[in-house]
A and B are shown apart, each in its own frame.
Chain A
Amino acid sequence: MSLAAIIFSILTIISSLGVIGCANPLNSALCLVLTLFFVAAHYAMMGAHFVAAIQVLVYAGAIMVLVIFVIMLLGLERDESSSDFKKPRNVLTAAVIGLFIGMLIVAVQSGVAGAPVDGLADASIVNDGGGHAIGQVLFTRYVLPFEITGMLLLAAIIGAVYIAHEQRKPLAEGRGLKAVRNRE
């Protein structure tokens, strides 16, 4: 790994520690934004510029804005929920996760396969990192997952709206086709 990558990795880890460590949800949200930027930097370094752009645009931009908006909406920026690390359970959790990391590292060292199998294995496409190649693959091979993801987003919207919006009418004469039918 190049030196820059290592530096950015350390920065990413520090900022993610910040996300966990901060008592105030607002601070941790900001730390998360920082982490996302560092991750986008990693993508860029790896040559996937388009992905890095999307990362910054979608993740940092849209999702985090929404999160911070909700934090402000619920007025949580003031309360200091202390996720103190001293509690015995948390220490145990940290220990288990340490072991977990060790296990993952040992696993990752060996297992990575050599040659790619069925992907579009030519360096040019990857390197130019442009949207063109991704778009081309996305709408030929991955068309079904793409459509389903569309469905997914639509469902998420309907669900979020249904569940979060203020209750407009008292239960009895709720709008909707059935209620109307009853009225005749």
Chain B
Amino acid sequence: MEKTLLLVPLFPLVGALLTYVISGKDERHHRMAGWIATFAAVGSFILTFQLWRALSAVEGSVITAHAWTWFEVLPFKVEFAFLFDRLAAVMTLIITGVGSLIHLYAIGYMSHDPERPRFFAYLNLFLFAMLLLVLGDNLLVMFVGWEGVGLCSYLLIGFWHRDMGNAVAGQKAFVVNRIGDAGFLLGMFLLVMMTGSLEFQQLSQQIPYVDPMMIELAAILLFIGAVGKSAQIPLYVWLPDAMAGPTPVSALIHAATMVTAGVYMMARMQVLYSFAPAALSVVLIVGTLTAFVAATIAIVQNDIKKVLAYSTVSQLGYMFMAMGSAAFSNGIFHVVTHAFFKACLFMGAGSVIHGCHHEQDMRKFGGLWRKMPLTFVTYLISTLAIAGFPFTSGFFSKDAILWTVFNVAEDAPAMNHTVVVFGDIPLNLFCWGVGVLTALMTAFYMTRSLMMTFFGKYRGHHEPHESPMVMTIPLMILAALAAGFGFVYGEAFMEYLVGWTRIDMQVGHHALAEHNEVYHTLELFSMGVAILGIVIGVLCYSVCSGIPKALVKHAKGLHNFLVNKWWVDEFYQAVLIRPLSGFSTFLFKSIDRVLIDGILVNGSGMFVEAGGDVLRRLQSGRTSSYAFLMFVSLFLLILLYLVFMPVPI
């Protein structure tokens, strides 16, 4: 059993090496590269599936595999080991499953790109790093995966590196991730100091005995890492720019897998977070704000990939709202469903772009439903899912989150949501309200993108064509999952996960909710919101298309504010980047050059030389002055030491 667990991450690694090795050769090999990579991904999916099936058989439902001792500085020891339990199973299935589909899709999408092998090598490398992150038995192996995926996202975003813009986007992604990782590192150090080890089992035993203040601090620090990786406020700025990469990359990395790493980390460290109520409040607030802000920006975006990017940020905000209210399993459920419909949306957008010859501006689309029926259908289903249309998987997972946020107050002893915001409204109610509003906006902007792309008349000047089968098959599979998964497997999934997380018992358990009439009214209410959003969207962009233009004219200021992404990038540039580079130039120019070099080093040199010049002039060349100086100095010397030396006269 351990052997297969070790093989799961190994497959993509070998795949990556193989594809990279043949990158230099001729055209025939290029095509092969795509298929090698996909086989690697599918292979690891099959292995995971086998492991998942075997998991229930294993007592305590945990499989661990130990590779080797990474490094040990007694008493602190780090092993390279893997852990496969229910949570990891879910995540791995998603990663390898969606990953394989995206690999398949990428073969089509990248079919005429000269550097295909390099692309697929990076994709496989990404899978390897993501699997390390998820399967890691301790925080350090997770951190290896954590930075590994950061690297792969950097490489993939900057894949078309001829255009410096992409390279800058890639670097921005890596650096912002690194800021998060710094927080993660500090969290790990604190945990090592507190408990002496980083293994999850060890941590869960030790944490109850650690001083609560330290737990809060560690939780916050680890959350900073999550913020960096899962693009929450304030470190979300890199995700929209990451759209510079090819669309499969956006689909795989910036929708399904990497961005959810932060959520997985919190789920994995739920023991820590359950002892850190203050940290959870912070997570809740950050999640809510991110969701709201991203949604507002998504409304005004015209580039289809930007819309989806901001929608991802918003949905991630939702997941962290779930985590913030200690509903870890709900969060993971939303991760799964979001992986399905968001990957499908991105791939749909990809096939649209592919069809319209790399055109991304929605204003150039329109009326594509005839030209690209399959893409249209899958896109429609996924839009409904994300909007939370009743009985789609999106509805179930989003509704669950809203529900747990709403009534978390009463029966969650660990949560002290007594924090009051705006007069007397308790925190969670406020978040719930914002969540509902965001749900409305999500429905609206997704419908807007659907309408602008597939309905009305075609505004582009290329001849759009439907994507080949290799691209549409993954679309259909994912669309099906996006539609049906929630409905069919919703209950079973929650049971499966809750069984794993003992803590979830007390908090907003889905089953309990069945008999609670408040839950039912809420359910209906969120259905209404979703439908309302969709209707508004449809109306605005088909029948009375004048309304959006009018709105833009009236709320010029607000529109402008949103178009410029709340001026966040400019804000960072002004507050952070420019002063930092100014300060560094100051450091280099004045401190290094002038102060240390100029004054201290050369200065002392000059001082000594100046002394030399003065004394040189003393050497006048005239003998009598020499004699005079010699005699006077003799006289002074004798006087000097006669005065000081106690000599009896």
Contact = CB atoms under 8 A, between A and B. Distances in A.
Interface of A: 89, 93, 96, 99-100, 103, 106, 110
B638 interface: yes
B628 interface: yes
A72 to B, nearest CB: 24
Contact of B635 (A89, A99, A106, A110): A99
Given A103-B638, A103-B639, A110 B649 contact: yes
Contacts of A93: 628, 631
Nearest to B638: A103
Nearest to A100: B635
A99 B649 CA distance: 16
Interface residues of B, number: 9
Nearest to A99: B635
A100 B634 CA distance: 10
Nearest to A83: B624
Contact of A96 (B635, B642, B649): B635
A106 to B, nearest CB: 6
Given A96-B631, A106-B649, 14 more contacts: A89-B628, A93-B628, A93-B631, A96-B632, A96-B635, A99-B635, A100-B631, A100-B635, A103-B635, A103-B638, A103-B639, A103-B642, A110-B648, A110-B649
- Would you list the 5 A-B pairs with minimal beta carbon distance, nearest first? A100-B635, A96-B635, A96-B632, A93-B628, A106-B649
A93 B632 CA distance: 8
A100 B631 CA distance: 10
Contacts of B648: 110
16 contacts: A89-B628, A93-B628, A93-B631, A96-B631, A96-B632, A96-B635, A99-B635, A100-B631, A100-B635, A103-B635, A103-B638, A103-B639, A103-B642, A106-B649, A110-B648, A110-B649
Nearest to A110: B649
B327 to A, nearest CB: 99
Contacts of A96: 631-632, 635
Interface in B597-649: 628, 631-632, 635, 638-639, 642, 648-649
Contacts of A89: 628
Contacts of A99: 635
A103 B638 CA distance: 10
Nearest to B634: A100
A110 B649 CA distance: 7
A142 to B, nearest CB: 30
Contacts of A106: 649
Contacts of B635: 96, 99-100, 103
A103 B635 CA distance: 10
A93 B625 CA distance: 11
Contacts of B628: 89, 93
B623 to A, nearest CB: 14
B640 to A, nearest CB: 12
B98 to A, nearest CB: 100
A61 B648 CA distance: 44
A93 B629 CA distance: 10
Nearest to B636: A96
A99 B638 CA distance: 12
A110 B642 CA distance: 15
Contacts of B649: 106, 110
A12 to B, nearest CB: 22
A96 B631 CA distance: 9
A173 to B, nearest CB: 36
B630 to A, nearest CB: 12
A100 B639 CA distance: 9
B263 to A, nearest CB: 93
A93 B628 CA distance: 7
B632 to A, nearest CB: 6
B339 to A, nearest CB: 99
A96 B629 CA distance: 11
A169 B76 CA distance: 94
B444 to A, nearest CB: 101
A102 to B, nearest CB: 11
A116 B628 CA distance: 36
B643 to A, nearest CB: 11
B345 to A, nearest CB: 100
A39 B632 CA distance: 28
Contacts of B631: 93, 96, 100
A60 B628 CA distance: 28
A106 B628 CA distance: 23
Contacts of B642: 103
Contacts of A103: 635, 638-639, 642
A136 to B, nearest CB: 39
B644 to A, nearest CB: 15
A106 B638 CA distance: 14
Nearest to B628: A93
A100 B635 CA distance: 7
B284 to A, nearest CB: 91
Contacts of A100: 631, 635
A103 B637 CA distance: 13
A92 B632 CA distance: 10
Nearest to B642: A103
Nearest to B627: A93
A177 to B, nearest CB: 37
B85 to A, nearest CB: 100
A127 B639 CA distance: 39
A96 B639 CA distance: 12
A100 B454 CA distance: 114
Nearest to B625: A89
